[in-house]
């Protein structure tokens, strides 16, 4: 099971790093600064996926993959304004990333937007995950990077973008990894807080998402997050036109030690603030929105 998971994570990270040049830029700079001696020392706090909440797809379908790989379903989150549901999943061992999966509440959109989305997603007649051998890491990797529906037309993408930037992102990008997340709290002094890490990022020319401020803080003060603005990718649409659209981004997280463990000498993952936070997530979603990418 863990070998399968490693194959899947490796495939996701490889393609993600190819799509998002900021990944290499940041990890190389971390090595140059002496924060780490090699990129594989980076602790991946979590990875995130987006889905369409329609029959045969959505969280109910997607989660089967990671439940089979030993993940456990945790808290539910609701984003009213963005019309999204989400859950996070805890990994089978602390060395693996948590997973954050969201889905568009398609039924909450206008009739017109629903019609556009369904014209694509109705090509999926059966839950595609049910056809997968969930012990086969290579098969899962191929599935996550294969189109589930036809390539969209630019007009449909643009129409969706007006109503839901999330919908437009998923109709083109599908299950491509939306982001991975660098844990900063175990880095050396001077880089181990979100504030100091953001300073480093801006020094090397990284543009940060400033929706609601560059640092998103949970009400309990234990979870601090920031993220880059999504990288633009050149996308070819079904009508033959080419446009620059939002791809994926990188996130950063600082999880503070919980008050009851502050006296401990050796701090492990379980001693830090767990989970996610609706208010933080709501703004992090905007890393792919034109309000950030056009800034
Ligand atoms: C996910 C945004 C939320 C977090 O860590 O709270 C998030 C997305 O953009 O799909 O990543
Ligand atoms: Ni995240």
Residue ranges per structural domain of the chain: 2-293
Can you tell me the distance from the alpha carbon of 204 to that of 198, in angstroms, rounded to the nearest whole number?
10
Going by pLDDT thresholds of 50, 70 and 90, the confidence category of residue 173 is: very high
Q: What is the pTM of this model?
A: 0.98
Handedness of CA 208, 213, 216, 221 (dihedral sign): positive
- The residue whose CB lies within 8 Å of the most ligand 1 atoms, and thus the one to mutate among 78, 97, 251, is 251
Q: How close is the Cα of 176 to the center of ligand 2, in Å? A: 14
Q: Please tell me if the CB atom of residue 48 comes closer than 6 angstroms to any atom of ligand 1.
A: yes
Q: Are 208 and 229 in contact (CB under 8 A)?
A: yes
**Phi, psi of 12, deg, nearest 5:** -65, -45
Ligand 1 atom closest to residue 216's alpha carbon, by position in its atom list:
6
Q: For residue 261, what pLDDT band results from cuts at 50, 70 and 90?
A: very high
Mapped onto helix, strand or coil, the DSSP state of residue 113 is helix
Share of the chain above pLDDT 90, in %: 99
- Ligand 2 centre from 239 Cα, in Å? 33
What tens digit of pLDDT does each residue of 72-91 get? 999 999 999 999 999 999 99
Q: Which atom of ligand 1 is nearest to the CA of 281?
A: 6
Q: How far is the CA of 284 from the centre of ligand 2 (A)?
A: 7
pLDDT above 80 (res 1): no
User: 285 CB under 6 A from ligand 1?
Assistant: yes
pLDDT in tens, 124-145: 999 999 999 999 999 999 999 9
Which of 48, 167, 225 has the most ligand 1 atoms within 8 A of CB, as the residue to mutate?
48
Q: How far apart are CA 175 and CA 156, in angstroms?
A: 19
| Average pLDDT over every residue of 53-76 | 98
Ligand 1 near 280 CB (within 6 A): yes
- In this prediction, residue 2 has a pLDDT band, given cuts at 50, 70 and 90, of confident
Mean pLDDT of the chain: 98
The pair phi, psi for residue 125, each rounded to 5°, is: -95, -5
What token pair was written down for 151? 């390539």
| Candidate CATH numbers 1.10.3720.10, 3.40.50.2000, 3.10.180.50, 1.10.10.60; the one for domain 2-293 | 3.10.180.50
CA 286 distance to own-chain centroid: 12
């Amino acid at each position: 099971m863990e070998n399968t998971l490693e194959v899947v994570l490796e495939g996701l990270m490889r393609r993600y790093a190819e799509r998002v040049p900021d990944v290499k830029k940041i990890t190389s700079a971390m090595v140059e600064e002496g924060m780490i001696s090699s990129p594989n020392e980076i602790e991946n706090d979590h990875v995130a996926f987006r889905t369409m909440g329609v029959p045969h797809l959505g969280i109910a379908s997607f989660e089967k993959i990671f439940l089979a790989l030993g993940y456990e379903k945790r808290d539910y989150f609701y984003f009213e304004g963005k019309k999204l549901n989400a859950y996070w999943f805890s990994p089978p061992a602390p060395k693996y990333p948590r997973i954050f999966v969201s889905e568009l509440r398609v039924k909450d959109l206008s009739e017109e937007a629903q019609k556009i989305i369904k014209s694509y997603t109705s090509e999926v007649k059966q839950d595609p995950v049910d056809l997968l051998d969930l012990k086969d890491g290579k098969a899962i990797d191929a599935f996550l990077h294969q189109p589930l529906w036809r390539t969209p037309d630019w007009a449909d993408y643009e129409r969706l973008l007006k109503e839901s930037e999330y919908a437009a992102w998923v109709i083109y990008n599908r299950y491509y990894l939306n982001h991975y997340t660098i844990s900063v709290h175990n880095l050396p002094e001077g880089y181990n807080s979100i504030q100091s890490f953001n300073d480093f990022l801006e020094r090397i020319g990284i543009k940060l998402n400033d929706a609601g401020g560059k640092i998103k803080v949970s009400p309990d003060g234990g979870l601090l997050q920031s993220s880059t603005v999504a990288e633009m990718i050149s996308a070819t649409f079904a009508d033959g036109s080419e446009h620059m659209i939002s791809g994926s981004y990188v996130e950063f997280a600082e999880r503070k030690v919980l008050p009851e463990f502050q006296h401990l000498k050796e701090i492990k993952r379980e001693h830090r603030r767990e989970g996610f936070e609706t208010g933080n997530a709501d703004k992090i979603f905007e890393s792919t929105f034109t309000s950030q990418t056009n800034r």
